[in-house]
Structure 1
Amino acid sequence: MGQPVEQIVRRKLSDEVFDRLERLITSGELRPGDEMPSERTLMERFGVGRPAIREAMQTLANMGLVNISHGERAKVLELTAKSIFRQVDLTAKIMLSQSPASLEHLKSARIFFERGMTREAAAHATEKDIADLREIIELQRTWLGHPEEFISADMQFHTRIAQISGNPIFVALSEAMLIWLKAYQTDMLIWTGNEDFTLIEHEEILQRLAENDADGAEREMLKHLERSRAFYTK
């Protein structure tokens, strides 16, 4: 038998340009804050037309690698965990909208994640951390009867717990899951009558964190999230 045919796939010029521009960034030749070369320079360097350059540059921008501003040179962006997760916001929301099972999986993943974050926070919380969390709870209290603002403060509380880890990937993941879930909260009116429960549960979590009680903090967080998971539905 002869060798299997290895078909050569003809690629668009813009794909080739994209690969070369990406290598300029990943190799460190261009660093965060640097301006990209001008379109004319890139056209001459790669021997291609303006459309291929612009399409490749737009792909870089869509991936969050560069920022394009009208009338200015594109600039290389600094990638962070937060900026990477924001790049998948739309596709994550589409996935959730198309699959009820995915929404349930996300709720379960969030509970798993937050239990670990709470244990981590209980082990490392400082007086400043506790004071910040207490301030957020008091902010929530002022927003009783205002569901949108109350939920925003609720998200701040959970994100602040993740910040205690000192790990920016944990913080970015916490924010991302909260943002994705927020799109699937039921009518805000469902919070009316439940806000007091939320405040009490947050206070219980905070008390355990202040006592460096990892088991207690995890238990209170689990109780809180299991009660509230019903608020996120199609």
Structure 2
Amino acid sequence: MGQPVEQIVRRKLSDEVFDRLERLITSGELKPGDEMPSERVLMERFGVGRPAIREAMQALANMGLVNISHGERAKVLQLTAKSIFRQVDPTAKIMLSQSSDSLEHLKSARIFFERGMAREAAQRTSETDVCELREIIERQRAALGDAEAFISADIQFHTRIAQISGNPIFVAVSEAMLAWLKAYHTDMLIWAGKEKFTLVEHEEILARLAEHDADGAEQAMLRHLERSRALYMK
């Protein structure tokens, strides 16, 4: 038998330009906040036409590596866990809208994650954390009857618990999952009458965090999320 054919695929010019521009950023030659070179400079540097430069620059923008503003030079962005999740937000929402299984998997993943966050936070909660979480609960109480404001405060409460960890990736994961779930919060159908349960449960979670009770915080979080799980429906 002959050797299998290993076909060499000719790459688009814009792909080559993309690789070189990406290296300018990853090597540190261009840093967050720096302006990218002009199209003309890049055309001369790489010996390619304007379409290849523009296509490569758009690919960088789609990855969140640069920001393109009309009439201005593209700027290198600071990559963070939050900015990376923002890049996948639209795609994640489409995936969830197409599959009820995906929504159930996300709800399960969120419960798994939040249980861990409660345990982690219980070991680290400071007086400042307690005060700020209490303020969020009071804002939520003041928002009774205003579903949008109430849900917004709900998201702030859970994200603030993630912040206690000091890990920005935990915070970004928390914000992303809550943002994706928010699109499926059917407040018109089954929201009425549920708000007061949420407030009591949030107070119980906070009490356990303030006492540095990891087991109690995890169980309080689990009870809260298992009850509220039904609020997120397609």
Q: How would you bin the TM-score normalised by the shorter chain?
A: over 0.9
Identity percentage over the alignment? 84
The alignment's C-alpha RMSD in Å is 0.9
Task: String of CA shifts for 1:135-191, please: whole Å, max 9, x gaps.
Answer: 000000100011010000000000000000000000000000000011111244522
Structure-1 separation of matches of 2:187 and 2:216: 32
User: Which residue in 2 is equivalent to 1:184?
Assistant: 184
User: Which residue in 2 is equivalent to 1:54?
Assistant: 54
User: Which residue in 1 is equivalent to 2:107?
Assistant: 107
State whether structure 2 residue 98 is matched by structure 1 residue 98: yes
User: Which residue in 1 is equivalent to 2:36?
Assistant: 36
Structure-1 separation of matches of 2:204 and 2:124: 18
After TM superposition, list the pairs within 5 Å mapping 1:26-175 onto structure 2: 26-175=26-175
Counterpart contact for 1:114–1:221, Cα < 8 Å: yes
Structure-2 separation of matches of 1:228 and 1:2: 62
Structure-1 separation of matches of 2:164 and 2:83: 20
1:2 to partner: Cα distance: 2.2
Number of matched pairs = 234
Give, as a single letter, the amino acid of the residue that structure 1 aligns with 2:225. Answer: L
Unaligned runs of 5+ in 1: none
4+ runs of 1 displaced by more than 6 Å?
Answer: none
Give, as a single letter, the amino acid of the residue that structure 2 aligns with 1:165. Answer: S
User: Which residue in 2 is equivalent to 1:211?
Assistant: 211
Structure-1 separation of matches of 2:188 and 2:142: 17
Using structure 1 for the length normalisation, give the TM-score. 0.98
Counterpart contact for 1:134–1:206, Cα < 8 Å: yes
Structure-1 separation of matches of 2:97 and 2:233: 10
Unaligned runs of 5+ in 2: none
